[in-house]
């Protein structure tokens, strides 16, 4: 056995692809016994292997983490072989997108998207997509003076000679102040005195406007607040929508109030009085009907009582009438006899 074994060397393929089967061999011209124990190192750190008496190190399958500098030695000898580089190549993995600035994005800002990819060799080809449409290329995608139309989901695709991979989608949510502010009202805006017309303020903003102010043209003080406003008087009215990024006012709309004429007032009073009079008549008729109904019911009850439960006086009167009638009939019969012959 040689004392130094100074001619140890590792045989290894210089470049392999992840998933391949790889074998590294430790060679020496020293006369080694069959029971010699080989020691393997990666990046100067000892590798613990179960096979102690083999001069071969198998990596099956080889992984990206197996890339590094390999060397070997024989147990009991002080010499370590020169290091050889094992380069494990693999397609893009762990692809992601970073956004700068990372906070709130407001219309007019400049925004940079960066595609981050883990691959060997490093990816050189990148494509950018908004939804399903390609919008750019290169590792960095820059949007200067971003607008609300740029809002949406973005992702990148990283490509090297071994494959490609998409990142997860990231969302660009572009904030902007109110715009396209308008007033909507039902009808022509012509009302009669005493009535009102409802005005609604409509705006496009992100985030949605929550504060609304109403003004009458040529007046500085607000006449109302909220998304809806009830106009009771003639004039030109407009609204102003607000969010944390700004505000905008609408064009004015015209509300016209017609005063009621004296004839309309008299007619209105007459109609109201007539309605009250008719209502009173109806109530009186109902009351009289109820009274009559109750009286009819009482009279019927009384008649039924007399028939079903007659008293002694009634029978006496009937007997007297019958007796008188019989007597009268007898007298009448006697008076009508012809005189007898003498």
CA 236 to chain centre: 36
Is residue 159 within 8 Å of 92, Cβ to Cβ? Answer: yes
pTM for this entry? 0.64
* Structural tokens at position 134: 């390609």
Q: Provide the 3-class DSSP secondary structure of residue 278.
A: helix
Amino acid 32: pLDDT: 62
Give the separation between CA 201 and CA 182, rounded to whole angstroms.
Answer: 6
pLDDT at 15: 82
Q: How far, CA to CA in Å, does 289 sit from each of 200, 280, 294, 319?
A: 54, 14, 9, 42
Q: Are 274 and 206 in contact (CB under 8 A)?
A: no
Tell me the C-alpha distance between 290 and 286, whole Å.
6
CA nearest 64: which of 11, 20, 10? 20
Long-range contacts of 131-140 (CB under 8 A, 24+ apart): 139/114, 139/115, 140/112, 140/113, 140/114, 140/115
Show me where the domains of the chain are located: 9-82, 91-172, 177-258
**Domains 9-82 and 177-258 fall in the same CATH topology:** yes
How confident is the model at residue 189, as a pLDDT?
85
* Contact by Cβ (8 Å): 209, 239: no
Total residues found in the chain within this entry = 342
Task: Specify the CATH superfamily of domain 177-258.
Answer: Immunoglobulins (2.60.40.10)
Which residues, 6 or more positions from 306, have their beta carbon under 8 angstroms from its beta carbon?
Answer: none
**Domain 9-82 in this protein, CATH class:** mainly beta
Strand-pairing partners, residue 225, are 213
Q: Which long-range contacts (CB under 8 A, 24 or more apart) does 139-145 make?
A: 139/114, 139/115, 140/112, 140/113, 140/114, 140/115, 141/112, 141/113, 141/114, 141/115, 142/110, 142/111, 142/112, 142/113, 143/110, 143/111, 143/112, 143/113, 144/110, 145/108, 145/109, 145/110
Q: What is the pLDDT of residue 142?
A: 97
Tens-digit pLDDT profile for the chain (342 aa)?
444 566 788 888 878 999 999 999 988 877 666 677 888 999 999 987 665 667 889 998 999 999 999 999 888 777 889 999 999 999 999 999 999 998 999 999 999 999 999 999 999 999 999 999 999 999 999 999 999 999 999 999 999 999 999 999 999 999 999 999 999 998 788 888 888 899 999 999 999 999 999 999 999 999 999 999 999 999 999 999 999 999 999 999 999 998 776 554 555 556 566 788 899 899 999 998 888 888 887 776 666 555 555 554 444 444 444 444 554 444 444 444 455 443
Longest Cα pair distance anywhere in the chain, in angstroms? 207
Q: Under CATH, which number does the domain 91-172 receive?
A: 2.60.40.10
Please count the helices (runs of H) and the strands (runs of E) in the chain: 2, 25
Q: How far apart are CA 96 and CA 14, in angstroms?
A: 30
3-state secondary structure (DSSP) of residue 198: strand
| Cβ-based neighbours of 208, under 8 Å, separated by 6 or more | 243
Contacts of 64 (CB under 8 A, 6+ apart): 18, 88, 90, 120
């Amino acid at each position: 056995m040689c004392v130094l074994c100074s001619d140890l060397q590792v045989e290894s393929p210089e470049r392999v692809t992840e998933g391949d089967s790889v074998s590294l061999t430790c060679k020496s011209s020293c006369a080694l016994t069959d029971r010699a124990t080989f020691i393997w190192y990666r990046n100067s750190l000892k590798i613990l292997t179960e096979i102690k008496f083999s001069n071969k190190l198998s990596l099956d399958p080889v992984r990206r983490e197996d890339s590094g500098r390999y060397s070997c030695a024989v147990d009991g000898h002080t010499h370590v072989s020169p290091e050889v580089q094992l380069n494990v190549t693999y397609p893009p993995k762990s692809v992601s997108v970073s956004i700068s600035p990372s906070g709130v994005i407001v219309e007019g800002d400049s925004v940079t998207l960066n595609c981050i990819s883990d691959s060997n060799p490093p990816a050189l080809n990148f494509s950018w997509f908004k939804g399903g449409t390609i919008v750019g290329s290169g590792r960095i995608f820059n949007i200067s003076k971003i607008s609300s139309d740029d809002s949406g989901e973005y992702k990148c695709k990283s490509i090297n000679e071994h494959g490609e991979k998409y990142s997860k989608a990231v969302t660009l949510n572009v904030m902007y102040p109110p715009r396209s502010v308008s007033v909507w009202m039902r009808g022509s805006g012509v009302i009669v005195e005493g009535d009102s017309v409802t005005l609604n303020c409509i705006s496009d903003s992100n985030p949605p406007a929550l504060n609304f102010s109403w003004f009458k043209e040529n007046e500085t003080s607000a006449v109302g607040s909220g998304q809806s406003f009830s106009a009771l008087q003639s004039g030109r009215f407009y609204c102003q929508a607000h969010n944390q990024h700004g505000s905008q006012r609408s064009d004015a709309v015209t509300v016209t109030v017609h005063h009621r004429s004296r004839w309309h007032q008299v007619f209105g009073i007459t109609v109201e009085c007539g309605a009250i009079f008719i209502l009173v008549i109806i109530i009186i008729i109902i009351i009289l009907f109820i009274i009559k109904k109750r009286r009819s019911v009482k009279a019927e009850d009384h008649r039924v009582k007399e028939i079903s439960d007659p008293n002694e006086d009634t029978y006496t009167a009937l007997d007297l009438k019958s007796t008188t009638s019989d007597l009268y009939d007898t007298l009448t019969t006697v008076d009508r006899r012809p005189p007898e012959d003498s």
